[in-house]
Amino acid sequence: MKTLLLILTIILSFKSNGQLTNQLFNVYGKYSYGFNSSTTYNNFGLTGELIVHNNIGVNYNFDLIQRSDNFRQIHTPMGIVGGPLLIAAGLANVFDGDSTSRGGLALVGIVMFLLPDGVSFHQNIGYRWDISPYANVLGIDFIKDRTTGDSWIKYACSFGVRGTYVLKDRITFSPFIETRKTASIPWGFGAGFGVGILFGERDSYEEEQPAQ
Q: Is the domain of 178 the same as that of 130?
A: yes
Q: Please give the pLDDT value at position 200.
A: 87
Rounded percentage of the chain residues whose pLDDT exceeds 70 = 71
More confident residue, 48 or 108: 48
Q: Is the domain of 72 the same as that of 44?
A: yes
DSSP label at residue 211: P
Q: Burial-class residue 63 by CB neighbours within 10 Å (0-12, 13-18, 19+).
A: buried
Q: Is the domain of 100 the same as that of 181?
A: no
Q: Please give the pLDDT value at position 88.
A: 57
Q: Is the domain of 84 the same as that of 109?
A: yes
Least confident window among 65-74, 75-84, 200-209: 200-209
Q: Which long-range contacts (CB under 8 A, 24 or more apart) does 138-142 make?
A: 138/77, 138/78, 138/79, 139/61, 139/75, 139/76, 139/77, 139/78, 140/75, 140/76, 140/77, 140/78, 140/81, 141/65, 141/73, 141/74, 141/75, 141/182, 142/73, 142/74, 142/75, 142/76
- In this predicted structure, the answer to whether residue 3 has a pLDDT above a threshold of 80 is no
Whole-number Å distance between alpha carbons of 104 and 55:
33
Which residues lie below 8 Å from residue 62, measured CB to CB, with a gap of 6+? 45, 46, 47, 75, 76
pLDDT in tens, 118-151: 999 999 888 889 999 999 999 989 999 999 999 9
pLDDT in tens, 88-100: 555 555 555 555 5
Q: Which of 28, 31, 25 is nearest to 201 (CA)?
A: 25
Q: Please give the pLDDT value at position 96.
A: 54
Residue 104, domain extent: 79-114
Residues paired with residue 40 on neighbouring β-strands, in sequence order? 35
Q: Which of 180, 138, 207 is nearest to 32 (CA)?
A: 180
Residues paired with residue 144 on neighbouring β-strands, in sequence order? 72, 151
Q: Please give the pLDDT value at position 10.
A: 47
More confident residue, 45 or 114: 45
- In this predicted structure, the answer to whether residue 105 has a pLDDT above a threshold of 80 is no
Whole-number Å distance between alpha carbons of 46 and 1:
25
- In this predicted structure, the answer to whether residue 44 has a pLDDT above a threshold of 60 is yes
46 with 26: CB under 8 angstroms? no
CATH number at residue 197: 2.40.160
Number of structural domains found in the chain? 2
Whole-number Å distance between alpha carbons of 63 and 29:
10
The verdict on residue 162 lying in a domain is no
